[in-house]
Amino acid sequence: MITTKEKNRQELEEELNHLEFQIYRMQENIKDLSKDARVLGIDQSKDEDWMIVSSIDDGQTCKIMLTDCETAYRGKSCFSLVASYQDDAIHIGDIKGPPNYGFGSICMKYLKDIARDCNIPKVTGDIAKRDWNHVDRLIHFYEKHQFEVSIDYDTQSGSIKWTDF
């Protein structure tokens, strides 16, 4: 029979092995990622998995991407946020990836940092009809990140706006 102490030790050893693997994969992925994009940082998902945050920015469009440290980087990230620079705002065009892992929150944090670094006071975006099947989740997400959310339920559209104070 396995005691609680032995089980805890076994769980800790498994966690340590998993963490060591993620760190090894992180080193390899950062090296490969840096050939294609600028590495912005490292963050943890809601499930405490390590993610590499990178961006491709040509001065007109900014793409923030997340790459996990579980799999080898093969030129494709697991999550992305694409935005364009406008006169006095950064406008979110698309967010792609699985919901409810905290990936969007990581990208939003880095997008706000980019806005601040560039002295851009606003981040804006649209909620389109194609988003309507998950509009409640979008409203919750944007409000959690201090965005003003305006929704027109008749036209199934809306807008978002964050202003840095």
Read off the pLDDT of residues 36-78 as tens digits, 9 standing for 90 and up. 999 999 999 998 899 999 999 999 999 999 999 999 999 999 9
Helix, strand, coil share of the chain (percent; to 5): 35, 35, 30
Could you tell me the pLDDT band of residue 9, with boundaries at 50, 70 and 90?
A: confident
Q: Strand, helix or coil at 62?
A: strand
What confidence tens digit (pLDDT) does each residue in 80-103 have?
Answer: 999 999 989 999 999 999 999 999
Residues 129/145, Cβ–Cβ less than 8 Å: no
pTM over 0.85: yes
In the chain, how many domains are there?
Answer: 1
The CATH number covering residue 36 comes to 3.40.630.30
CA distances from 152 to 64, 136, 155 (A): 28, 13, 6
Q: Which helix (H) or strand (E) holds 44?
A: strand 38-44
Owning domain of residue 49: 4-163
